[in-house]
Structures are given as C-alpha cells and as structure tokens.
C-alpha cells in the first residue's frame, strides 16, 4: 500500500487536485510541489508582504507550511517498508510512473521567466482543477476548457484532450475526475 502525504491545505484538498494519471505510468501534476516546495513558500511570503504593504489582512497559506516536505510511504502487512522524501522517485522505483513522461499543470517551466511565475500560473489553473482530469483511455483525458495552458501542455505531450466547458462544475469546486462516475475501461 502506498501512502502519499500532501500539504494539509485547502488548495490541495486531495490527491486528484494535484496528481492524476493520464496514461499508463504517466501523470499530470503540479510543478515543483514534490521537489521544490520552496518555490510555493516564496510566493506565499511575497503575497503576505504585499498584503501588509497595502494594509490588507493576509488569508493565504502560511509560508512555513510549504517548507514541510511531502513524503511517500510504502507499507506491507509487516509494516513500513520504505519512506521517500522524493515521491516521484519512489513511485518510479515501484514502476508506478515514468517521471520523464510527467506533464505539469500550466506547461513547461521553459515557457516562463521564473519558477515562481510558472507556479503562480499553475496555481491559477489548479484553482479550476487543472490537474484534475479524467482519463477515459490511455493518453486520452477529459479536462475543463478554461485550463488552456495545461491543455496545450497535454496536447504537446501527445495526450488527446476532450475539453468541456464545465463552468457549473468548477463553481462547485469539483474537477472533471471528481465529478465523474466510476468508469469501466477495457483491459
């Protein structure tokens, strides 16, 4: 059994909001969350400073909470088998994913002037469930059309995207995967 510990933040309600399988051993996930949480901490610090400068109350995440790393634990009936601070490496070692084929929300970091700008755009798309797509077949997903950068990244990676408007679903804070019924897929 795998246990993946993620930040206890509203922004990351559950695993589907930050990581979804899009193909066999291939995922769509938030950039930097697993290997560079300091990027998110820096964004939170700047947002808090801006609020203070403008005399507004800051209601965002505590910057220190992002400094706490996520982790992956692998359990067997005998107990804890192995712990990983680098979850992607752990999932790759167990054959669950191919990290080199990972697609990130809002596209590649090469498209942005800085890591922080990429993370901010990813957070914007994540607010509308950018990582929360439903795989209807290998390399074929349903996604909300408002997450255009993520859709372009998926298509650029060879994933077929069936986009839906979904504005009423987004208002209910539900992603395409969370708001779908269980699907029976052929083997």
In the DSSP assignment, the letter for residue 112 is S
Q: Verify whether residue 146 is a known catalytic residue.
A: no
pLDDT tens per residue across span 145-175: 989 999 999 999 999 999 988 766 666 666 6
Q: pLDDT category, 185, cuts 50, 70, 90?
A: low
Helix (H) or strand (E) holding 136: strand 134-137
Contact yes or no for 92/99 (Cβ under 8 A): yes
**What is the mean pLDDT of the segment spanning 125-132?**
86
Q: When comparing pLDDT for 60 and 186, which is higher?
A: 60
- Cα separation, 175 vs 187, whole angstroms: 25
Q: pLDDT category, 98, cuts 50, 70, 90?
A: very high
Q: Which of 35, 42, 178, 180 is catalytic?
A: 178
Please give the model's pTM, rounded to 2 decimal places: 0.86
What percentage of residues in the chain have a pLDDT greater than 70?
Answer: 83
Tell whether the model's pLDDT for residue 181 goes beyond 80: no
Fold of 2-171: 3.75.10
- Cα separation, 108 vs 106, whole angstroms: 7
């Amino acid at each position: 059994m795998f246990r993946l510990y993620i930040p206890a933040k509203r922004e990351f309600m559950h695993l589907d909001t930050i990581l979804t399988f899009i193909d066999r051993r291939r995922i769509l996930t938030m950039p930097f969350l697993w290997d560079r949480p300091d990027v998110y901490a820096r964004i939170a610090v700047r947002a808090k400073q801006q609020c203070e400068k403008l005399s507004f109350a800051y209601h965002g995440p505590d910057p220190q909470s992002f400094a706490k790393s996520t982790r992956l634990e692998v359990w067997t009936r005998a107990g804890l088998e192995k712990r990983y601070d680098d979850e992607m490496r752990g999932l790759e070692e167990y054959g669950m994913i191919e990290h080199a084929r990972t697609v990130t929300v809002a596209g590649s970091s090469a498209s942005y002037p800085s890591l922080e700008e990429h993370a901010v755009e990813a957070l914007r798309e994540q607010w509308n469930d950018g990582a929360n797509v439903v795989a209807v077949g290998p390399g074929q997903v349903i996604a909300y059309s408002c997450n255009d950068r993520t859709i372009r990244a998926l298509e650029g990676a060879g994933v077929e995207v069936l986009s839906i408007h979904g504005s009423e679903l987004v208002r209910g804070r539900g992603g395409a995967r969370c708001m779908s019924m269980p699907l029976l897929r052929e083997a």
